[in-house]
Structure 1
């Protein structure tokens, strides 16, 4: 059983999760969710981008520090590549389009729990480019 903490003001994610595969807690308040993540250290934190909008990457960094063992996954609709990369660099392990939650959320949870990232190959290439540019700048 995977322990999942969902941060979602719209309750669009939890109904799609198979209750036989995951134990789910849902928070619609990001501060309470941050405290819960720190106290409970769930396997996976699923964050709806609409909770923090442009401040999502900073919030992911806070979540990462609060619960180092938790893997964070971002759910959003049509984010720019740059916004997704920023969230991945902040600590997210995956990104899923909101319109694909019903179809892929359970596969995503299994993959991320197994240590995989849930991003497209194109995102992998962009992330590698970003990491290389950081290495060149700092080296």
Structure 2
């Protein structure tokens, strides 16, 4: 069973999410929370596998709650939700350790699939949606301002790893990267494992953020 905690400041939204998830034979909704602080406290008590977390909540916002859970309960993986596709809080949540992001208007089937995917430890942010979010809210630092760990990682990556990381950051999935480079999907996965290890990131979402922060790819300027 996938134990799920639902955190949202709107009771009707919590009820709706529970009604979608509870009938699934492999999902158990173990609790609800109305703000970020309550979400952390309930997670500590209930130890859910997945926390479906609204990003904008009172007392403690979803990003801050995600960061606290990533620090204290890494086994409780966060799936962040937002009313807005382009929301700076989404990037903050991914930085904080969320395993994925979905807009609240996704279909019930997409929500259920995302919960299952997050439970396995994989990211569920659509590559192109993630790229739009990063492009809107992450600003590329000047080379001299690159974080030291990222500068070291750039030096340690092979040319092939750099190219695969770049293609990932501009929105290609594994199959598209394989087609672009004329290699197998399994080879792409192997290279990405090496990239993640050298960068010290957990998943695709954090790897994309690191690509923008390092200057490997440049963010679009809003209004350009």
TM-score, structure 2 as length reference? 0.53
Residue 6 (structure 2) pairs with residue 2 (structure 1): no
Partner of residue 210, structure 2: 131
Q: Relative to structure 1, is the Cα distance of residues 36 and 115 closer, same or farther in structure 2, using a 3 angstrom cutoff?
A: same
Q: Which runs of 5+ in 1 are unaligned?
A: none
**Do the aligned partners of residues 38 and 66 (structure 1) sit closer, same or farther apart at CA in structure 2, a change above 3 Å counting?**
farther
**Cα distance, 1:133 vs. partner?**
4.9
Q: For 1:111, what is the secondary structure of its paired residue? A: helix
> What's the counterpart of residue 14 of structure 1?
18
Q: Is the 8 A contact 1:46 1:75 kept in 2?
A: yes
Change (3 A) 1:65 1:54: closer
* Counterpart secondary structure, 2:51: strand
- What does residue range 56-135 of structure 1 map to in structure 2 within 5 Å? 56-80=62-86, 82-122=88-128, 123=130, 125=169, 127=205, 128-134=207-213
Q: How many residues end up aligned between the 2 structures?
A: 136
Q: Which runs of 5+ in 2 are unaligned?
A: 131-167, 171-204, 216-224
Please tell me whether residue 30 in structure 1 is matched to residue 74 in structure 2.
Answer: no
Counterpart Cα distance in 1 of 2:66 and 2:80: 9
Q: Deviations for 1:102-135, whole angstroms, at most 9, x for unmatched residues?
A: 2311111111112211101122627535313545
User: What is the alpha-carbon distance in structure 2 between the residues aligned to residue 53 and residue 35 of structure 1?
Assistant: 13
The answer (yes or no) to whether the contact 2:55–2:63 under 8 Å persists in 1 is: no
TM-score in terms of structure 1 length: 0.81
CA offset at residue 2 of structure 1? Answer: 0.3
Root mean square deviation, CA, Å? 2.5
The whole-number CA distance in structure 2 between the counterparts of 1:7 and 1:43 is 14
